[in-house]
Structure 1
């Protein structure tokens, strides 16, 4: 789950946040209730048919320019869905979310009469679950429904006439970031992967921004420790660039030691592949370690040794870097993973997947399992997350993304679902596969005699005690396993910190990077005794050691 909101940051919050009050979802109205129908017209200016997932967003009120799920109270808006194929110019389609069994948080027929507003979105490439509205999608103007009673009167008619508009602030920020891309500063690397291309049957690229430290061009004979960083759920290549430029600024300011940062992109159509080797997403870990790393080390002056290859990421990126260290301990010299997704599936964001009759929605006594909190206040449940995600689309959501990474294939070749979306019941056979391949605590414990020489002392994990997604629970369990093994783990629990303010110190939202990078540099350069310092004209940047 992505979870360090830097700049625009990641849409995982929009997908994971739900309201405090639970409403029943995916239940058909009783037979005497009227169904609610909406008519949607395709754009009249189309030159070719369009397909996608047609979404209807409805909420109380009037006068808004957009109707969508609310990041803090998504159950305050209804969402309906239908897949449509080959709509031609001006064609119309009828959608009855209740008949389609695609309504959240409750059947549209159950809505109380009143004033509402509604908007249609045609999600062309099924990315709404991951990134929201895209420029290629079609949307309708918001339609006000005054004194509206579901199922009575004319069917509301919506016209798909426009594309979502770009946020001017985001456009300006992206332009500013791209203007800083230059040799010796930040460079884009895209490498077609033979392994992934063979797996998918079409060209697949590994992508990353390479952020070079100040003095890289001037110190032409020096080699540098290299950090492999990756974003979490909702991130992309654009976000990786923005994050890398912040780190470059901190090196310029003398807050961080001079290192190369490789800002990886782990997004894919299914969600995030997390650089894991998967039967569904492909051999991303193998491609990274056997293809991209050698390519980059041949092009840039990097330390081509484990102590010079270090890992950092937050949330889903935290889990990605944690598993890379566990699965490739001879390649990487340490991970500093922050607020990683569950590393011990005895606590999969509050659900014990190994419990008898395990259920992702409810505890054995029937209580709903929360997924998100604001300190002591529960904001959303796993059931709400799963069922909203199902309406928004069949893949690209957080829970479906886990299945694309972790699950075996079913008979049709798709990832096997770990749990039943209607009931929350967990499939023990799928969980058994998850345990053997992706439960990091289980993997380390089972293979410790082999892993010990290369893994001992190399796992660093930082999480807040008030983590928004309860990820401190799994961290405690993983730490207990590592302590039992004598693995010399370095776990830090920051008091009262959430998923979103973990890196902040005083008014500096990114200050934890300074501590992490200094610890990394001490591993790569144990005799350097590097200290942060303010840059001055008379004080050059510290020079890394030659290899």
Structure 2
């Protein structure tokens, strides 16, 4: 259930919350099972709430709405197809909360409906790109064995304009979506790559846009005791199969990785975990690669707390130099919205050891912020990229040196510039060749823009990759 103040003279069909405005709405949630049509259920408005109990609302008029999240993905993408919602009802508080009826099912939007929301020119170009891309799906034996049911590695492929006219092979870009991405966003990213190559903005390469979403959030293409062997599935199973389907160069020096945010971390992980398989990673605004600075917290500090440091709240997001949410707000809102799919829970599904209850052990207590040092040591031993590089650089150097490229905003919205600086410092101390760019004034969501081009960075990265795969090639404005 969601509730927010009702401004006089306004109306809405949706009451919702946002991590970027965590105190805008009151939220109450609970798990329900076996709820049948016509049945009633209640939600505890005192304890299972955020930011406070509903009885603490200041006097006034409020709007209320109920949502049944039928597939447990509210924390990942919000309400969506198949979820049940109630009409928005207004009521005065203090007083009894209104009875809400889950009467409407949200429909699945067709690609045509999604395209119809775009400006006409973009609609036409994206439609042409979507018609050209190819869906790929490979049932992984390793993941299927882990889960006891068929599990696939999935994505979309964009092919160069001249593909199929001759026997030429091409370099391959593996692009990984960030938190909140899906097969729908993967298809759009592949379509934009198709459009970019057709216009000459991007060099002729095969783009494989991978879906890293799962029921628990993003699996990061990392082998995990909770999510299963996603790294093994990608590199040992999907990659050989894919190279048998398409005319790829099929060599390390022509396989490249890129991704933003969680996709950036996944790219860094794959490059450093399988250094001889890939020829370079271009990670943009990657999630923390050094857990001395994870969500603004040094996980290894004695008596570390995820919520407070030196008596002050730890910031989670910023915008224009102003803190807009804290770790406590973000984590506690996520907890009320459900036990699956949230950002912090997603990290635990990838990084944490499995607890006695069969679920990942939590990094920190959601009520107090106290960090479990047993969990942090497991994270450090298995997934701290900086720590692994420092430990194993002698072994990794020959296959990894010069392959790490990171671009991040100097004012990243989630403070991700700080762990990137730590990663750079570790590589510098090791004498490694790497490339780090900190773009002054840029945040998490405007990093790719240059002038009037909102996606200029993609082209810059693509041409750097192409120069490695095709030495001596020059960047052009039009490929014919």
Same fold judged by TM-score > 0.5? yes
Alignment of 1:99-118 (within 5 A): 101-118=47-64
Is the 8 Å Cα contact of residues 341 and 471 (structure 1) preserved in structure 2?
Answer: yes
How far 1:94 sits from its partner (Å)? 1.9
Aligned residues: CA RMSD? 1.6
Aligned to 1:90: 38
Aligned to 1:203: 150
How far 1:170 sits from its partner (Å)? 2.3
How far 1:534 sits from its partner (Å)? 3.2
Residues of 2 paired with 1:94 and 1:377: CA distance? Answer: 38
Deviations 1:123-176 (A, max 9, x none): 11111000111221111000111x321xx3x55111111013567852636997
Aligned to 2:282: 336
Alignment of 1:294 onto 2:236:
no
Is the 8 Å Cα contact of residues 82 and 107 (structure 2) preserved in structure 1?
Answer: no
Alignment of 1:170 onto 2:114:
yes
Is the 8 Å Cα contact of residues 119 and 139 (structure 1) preserved in structure 2?
Answer: yes
Is the 8 Å Cα contact of residues 59 and 118 (structure 1) preserved in structure 2?
Answer: yes
Is the 8 Å Cα contact of residues 349 and 473 (structure 1) preserved in structure 2?
Answer: no
Alignment of 1:355-366 (within 5 A): 355-363=301-309, 365-366=310-311
SS in 1 for 2:174: strand
Residues of 1 paired with 2:63 and 2:345: CA distance? Answer: 30
SS in 2 for 1:158: coil
Alignment of 1:454 onto 2:399:
yes
Aligned match of 1:318 in 244, 250, 264?
264
Residues 70 and 428 of structure 1: is their aligned pair in 2 closer, same or farther, counting only changes over 3 Å?
A: closer
Residues of 1 paired with 2:20 and 2:223: CA distance? Answer: 34
Aligned match of 2:366 in 417, 421, 431?
421
Alignment of 1:531 onto 2:475:
yes
Unaligned 5+ runs, structure 1: 1-55, 541-547
How far 1:532 sits from its partner (Å)? 2.0
Aligned match of 1:277 in 218, 223, 227?
223
Is the 8 Å Cα contact of residues 279 and 408 (structure 1) preserved in structure 2?
Answer: yes
How far 1:97 sits from its partner (Å)? 2.5
Residues of 2 paired with 1:356 and 1:441: CA distance? Answer: 20
Unaligned 5+ runs, structure 2: none
Aligned match of 2:255 in 294, 306, 309?
309
Aligned to 1:345: 291
Aligned to 2:138: 191
Alignment of 1:4-83 (within 5 A): 56-61=1-6, 63-70=11-18, 72-83=20-31
How far 1:181 sits from its partner (Å)? 4.6
How far 1:214 sits from its partner (Å)? 1.1
SS in 1 for 2:463: helix
Deviations 1:432-459 (A, max 9, x none): 0000111000011111111010000100
Aligned match of 1:123 in 29, 49, 69?
69
SS in 2 for 1:419: coil
Residues of 1 paired with 2:311 and 2:253: CA distance? Answer: 49
Alignment of 1:398 onto 2:343:
yes
Aligned to 2:164: 217
Aligned to 2:448: 503
Aligned to 2:433: 488
Residues of 1 paired with 2:458 and 2:12: CA distance? Answer: 40
How far 1:70 sits from its partner (Å)? 4.2
Is the 8 Å Cα contact of residues 229 and 263 (structure 1) preserved in structure 2?
Answer: yes
Higher mean alpha-carbon deviation, 372-381 vs 198-207, is at: 372-381
SS in 2 for 1:463: strand
SS in 1 for 2:105: coil
Residues of 1 paired with 2:326 and 2:386: CA distance? Answer: 25
Residues 171 and 102 of structure 1: is their aligned pair in 2 closer, same or farther, counting only changes over 3 Å?
A: farther
SS in 2 for 1:434: helix
Deviations 1:68-111 (A, max 9, x none): 1146423110000111121222111122221xx21000111111
Is the 8 Å Cα contact of residues 330 and 454 (structure 1) preserved in structure 2?
Answer: yes
SS in 2 for 1:95: coil
Residues of 2 paired with 1:368 and 1:266: CA distance? Answer: 32
Residues of 2 paired with 1:93 and 1:499: CA distance? Answer: 40
SS in 2 for 1:59: strand
Aligned to 1:370: 315
Residues of 2 paired with 1:517 and 1:233: CA distance? Answer: 22
How far 1:194 sits from its partner (Å)? 0.2
SS in 2 for 1:479: helix
Residues of 2 paired with 1:155 and 1:498: CA distance? Answer: 40
Alignment of 1:236 onto 2:178:
no
Higher relative contact order (CA 8 A, sep 6+): 1
Residues 75 and 188 of structure 1: is their aligned pair in 2 closer, same or farther, counting only changes over 3 Å?
A: same
Larger Rg: 1
How far 1:422 sits from its partner (Å)? 0.4
Residues of 2 paired with 1:286 and 1:178: CA distance? Answer: 34
SS in 2 for 1:191: strand
How far 1:510 sits from its partner (Å)? 0.4
